[in-house]
Structure 1
């Protein structure tokens, strides 16, 4: 029984024997490797053992696209490849860009500043007037540039299709201030990338309350729902309440009597009444409306970007209204959930025009006539979690520029 890592380890040990390495390498006239910048040291050792003289060995890759060091990949594999053979391997650079214009290439080629990189000069025959602009706003409104300088807003006023434009960001959370806050409030927006719908914390919160009412002995749901109250944490009441509720035959009937901290007592009484009401007299979709009304009152305390998260709760309400019962709703939501959080949940109709919001990762391979990039500042691009040393800074910049 071998997993993927075992296959590599056994393969490497096998070809490390010179006779076996020569025999196995001789089975192949040509060995071609794609995305070589994403290989690790073990994979490189396999190649060199099979083709120690480099004859028939070709690797394709881009050191500026090395973004998987966290998985064990090392950019040194492709940087050191030419010198691994005698004579050195021939390097063929593919520098012409057929899709972008010169100003965009000049702005995006920040990775050229990397100290340890193969020298490349991307160029294009597509000339255009300067088309890269920058703007700054206050920290509280980072994603609301003036309408006169926003490509998507300016294009919308001129009548060009919104689908030909996009707003990109490094991480899905960076789009939160823009969701529902575009200068033209009537413009439809569709968001790609980010969390799946059922993975969002606020969606899990609402469903935890409903699933507790549906089945009082679902321990994980009970534990999550209890901690939504102010003053109740995993060590200040939640564990004891969980044990009592799951053990008691009455289930939700004794919630009001549970031992919670004094500071949480008032909020607990309201919450206990809600859960007992949902468990004893199920009325759908009125149950969902009650749960949402209570939860939305908690959201400003739980989340800084609660106004954006409310959109998902509203989307969940629209789904609930189509189900005949709470049980059917919870079952079907698990089997066939919406694909993404608020930006993409509730996709516009195919004949409607809408502005595209997307993470840089999800934007790979796409093309638009105009693109706005959010939060091009230190700490966001590259992420401040990837700036511990110069190598990580270069990798973080590569992750944002090559797409």
Structure 2
């Protein structure tokens, strides 16, 4: 039967401890084997509930080797396993079973990489494939695009990042190219045929060189699940499949889940359809919205509605925003914490006034005892924070911003990983090119000769052994070739092979970079991650599929100052929480973004984006509305200021939940000149200019 469980507890009652379960959570945790959907609102203990369900299954005798836990970050999988082990240990007198290690837990992409290596002989894939990260996939797309002559066309052809984005959206939404281009990239419609051929060449090149990118991993897994023998074998292999953040699943992932558990038996989905904000990556909340209809009377839907994070006033305001959504799983959120201040709608004159007010407010709260690290400033896109960043620097307020250059995109990290990847896959042309260019004396012509030899179709190992570098590069090349051969033959066990690669790269870094010491410290942090993995393939796949955003992700919080303020896009803030949240530019044109108002579903996703921003706050929430904001390079006459109105999502119901603070000047500023009235008649002068009278 379909059972939607309402809130069962008073909002004023708090959990005695984080892992304790209320009635809703307990029903989800102790549910049997039938298809289960847990619709978990913000701050409702989603992670604790899913961990409790894992512990309950293991406590009832489920084999952890036959339990598949799919998440959207490696950290989430680790946290889930640790919590499950803790809960299971508590029920067994403090003995934490090794079974709770959950050997088959991880991101969809990481699990796909592991499964495909095992399935490779049966499904026609090379077992020794390499995984391309996003940066390398973009570089390869650029190379194929250039080889096809599409970089020298007389008319504008999409650049490599756009081409890759189009191909990725086609794969992840399981939609035809023509439909994707028409709906999301209309200016590319004249190139649809050429794009089709480009993507075909791109795919052939990857398979020829034993490369799979992120999208290929999901596509290969989904296609394999369409083979009855494979689907039945994997379905029998895993008794239980549990999915965290189910609202972020795309259609390929939905196909995979349907193949694993076609009748829903043993399937658990946990997520919040109101927090589906990754439509640009193909996320499709229909998996959740259609769950009950798909599985019929066998399905159970449990709604977690008690928010243990935010105050009643904040929960009410966020509920008012999301109540305006066109379609969602029905539930009304309640707060389980003490009362606090109402959220504020702060109206200011322009972006400069917005920045000044936000910094003033941040420092005011700091003086009241709220550390900078307990506060965050959120925004729709990174450019919306530019004026604020300048004001923070001017006033000496330290901050960190999420959304800059990723750790794995830095040159020194890519250099070391390229060496390891090339040693694992001799046909990896991108990695070979990067490594060869590190050798002093090897220029573009020599690199082209090396790549041509690798492309010849013969033995790539023999091609590398036979390669003759320029005379000035022989010593450097010999050192690289000797190391490459040792790594490729497995002469050095893991992780000693990482150390050998780092030893070779160290003098190169000292020659190439003034800040070599800082870069070597990054690689030392990465070394710790390497030593935690059983082999090079697992290390490289994990880094490509779930990369750290910075070296601090490996080493712990950065010691930039005694304290620092967090600046973040709303997308990057999902899953986080702070005691105080300040949301910038809550105006139409920014939220919803002016480029996301072409379709109803795009506007609805923008509503959910504001909902996510508001639900990051625990006590204080400020929605800032500048009356004017600056637009750059969007007008033929140059930069301009636009007048703004509050976001359409801040309707009367939402405003009734907020304190309205208007800090705009009472009247426009005047010149203050002392001139007598009637000292000139400009109107008459203007009429006479064209020879008209009266």
TM-score scaled by length of structure 2 = 0.35
Q: Secondary structure at the match of 2:300?
A: coil
The question of whether the paired residues in 2 share the 8 Å contact of 1:171 and 1:194 is answered with: no
The question of whether the paired residues in 2 share the 8 Å contact of 1:348 and 1:354 is answered with: no
- Tell me what 2:280 maps to: 70
Paired with 1:52 and 1:197, the residues of 2 have a C-alpha distance of 38
Q: How does 1:77-226 map to 2 (within 5 A)?
A: 77-109=287-319, 110-144=321-355, 146=357, 151-158=361-368, 160-181=370-391, 186-196=395-405
Q: Secondary structure at the match of 1:181?
A: helix
Match of 1:359 among 569, 574, 599: 569
Shift of 1:190: 0.8
Shift of 1:83: 0.7
Q: Secondary structure at the match of 1:67?
A: coil
The question of whether the paired residues in 2 share the 8 Å contact of 1:67 and 1:396 is answered with: yes
Paired with 1:81 and 1:197, the residues of 2 have a C-alpha distance of 36
Q: How does 1:246-285 map to 2 (within 5 A)?
A: none
Shift of 1:23: 4.9
Paired with 1:185 and 1:7, the residues of 2 have a C-alpha distance of 47
| Deviations, residues 91-139 of structure 1 (Å, cap 9, x unaligned) | 1111211111111122223233221211122211213243311212223
C-alpha RMSD over aligned residues: 3.9
- Tell me what 1:383 maps to: 593
Match of 2:514 among 329, 335, 339: 329
Shift of 1:21: 4.0
The question of whether the paired residues in 1 share the 8 Å contact of 2:379 and 2:568 is answered with: yes
| Deviations, residues 63-102 of structure 1 (Å, cap 9, x unaligned) | 1222222223322122112111232511111121111111
Q: Secondary structure at the match of 1:91?
A: strand
The question of whether the paired residues in 2 share the 8 Å contact of 1:142 and 1:375 is answered with: no
Q: Judging changes above 3 Å, is the alpha-carbon distance between structure 1 residues 107 and 28 closer, same or farther for their aligned structure 2 residues?
A: same
- Tell me what 1:27 maps to: 237
Q: Judging changes above 3 Å, is the alpha-carbon distance between structure 1 residues 349 and 103 closer, same or farther for their aligned structure 2 residues?
A: same
Q: Judging changes above 3 Å, is the alpha-carbon distance between structure 1 residues 391 and 88 closer, same or farther for their aligned structure 2 residues?
A: farther
Paired with 2:250 and 2:590, the residues of 1 have a C-alpha distance of 27
Paired with 1:77 and 1:167, the residues of 2 have a C-alpha distance of 32
Paired with 2:227 and 2:313, the residues of 1 have a C-alpha distance of 52
Q: Secondary structure at the match of 1:107?
A: helix
**Gap regions ≥5 residues in structure 1:** 201-217, 220-324, 341-346
Q: Secondary structure at the match of 1:196?
A: coil
- Higher RCO structure (Cα 8 Å, ≥6 apart): 1
TM-score scaled by length of structure 1 = 0.57
Paired with 2:254 and 2:512, the residues of 1 have a C-alpha distance of 53
Paired with 1:101 and 1:192, the residues of 2 have a C-alpha distance of 26
| Deviations, residues 328-386 of structure 1 (Å, cap 9, x unaligned) | 5276687779x69xxxxxx8754x34444333344444443322221111122232222
Moved more, 48-57 or 5-14: 5-14
The question of whether the paired residues in 1 share the 8 Å contact of 2:379 and 2:584 is answered with: yes
Match of 1:40 among 238, 250, 255: 250
The question of whether the paired residues in 2 share the 8 Å contact of 1:93 and 1:120 is answered with: yes
| Deviations, residues 177-215 of structure 1 (Å, cap 9, x unaligned) | 122425x96452212213239999xxxxxxxxxxxxxxx
Q: Judging changes above 3 Å, is the alpha-carbon distance between structure 1 residues 106 and 401 closer, same or farther for their aligned structure 2 residues?
A: same
Q: How does 1:288-367 map to 2 (within 5 A)?
A: 329=514, 350=561, 352-367=562-577
Paired with 2:230 and 2:406, the residues of 1 have a C-alpha distance of 51
Task: Say how many residue pairs are matched.
Answer: 274
The question of whether the paired residues in 1 share the 8 Å contact of 2:325 and 2:607 is answered with: no
Q: Judging changes above 3 Å, is the alpha-carbon distance between structure 1 residues 27 and 157 closer, same or farther for their aligned structure 2 residues?
A: closer
The question of whether the paired residues in 2 share the 8 Å contact of 1:162 and 1:354 is answered with: yes
The question of whether the paired residues in 2 share the 8 Å contact of 1:41 and 1:73 is answered with: yes
Q: Judging changes above 3 Å, is the alpha-carbon distance between structure 1 residues 130 and 46 closer, same or farther for their aligned structure 2 residues?
A: same
Q: Judging changes above 3 Å, is the alpha-carbon distance between structure 1 residues 186 and 139 closer, same or farther for their aligned structure 2 residues?
A: closer
Q: Judging changes above 3 Å, is the alpha-carbon distance between structure 1 residues 84 and 193 closer, same or farther for their aligned structure 2 residues?
A: same
Paired with 2:405 and 2:511, the residues of 1 have a C-alpha distance of 22
Structure (1 or 2) with the greater strand fraction: 2
- Tell me what 2:504 maps to: none
The question of whether the paired residues in 2 share the 8 Å contact of 1:150 and 1:372 is answered with: no
- Tell me what 2:57 maps to: none
Q: Secondary structure at the match of 1:195?
A: coil
The question of whether the paired residues in 2 share the 8 Å contact of 1:67 and 1:399 is answered with: yes
The question of whether the paired residues in 2 share the 8 Å contact of 1:189 and 1:357 is answered with: no
- Tell me what 2:133 maps to: none
Shift of 1:11: 4.4
The question of whether the paired residues in 2 share the 8 Å contact of 1:15 and 1:21 is answered with: yes
The question of whether the paired residues in 1 share the 8 Å contact of 2:400 and 2:564 is answered with: no
Shift of 1:19: 6.2
Shift of 1:48: 2.4
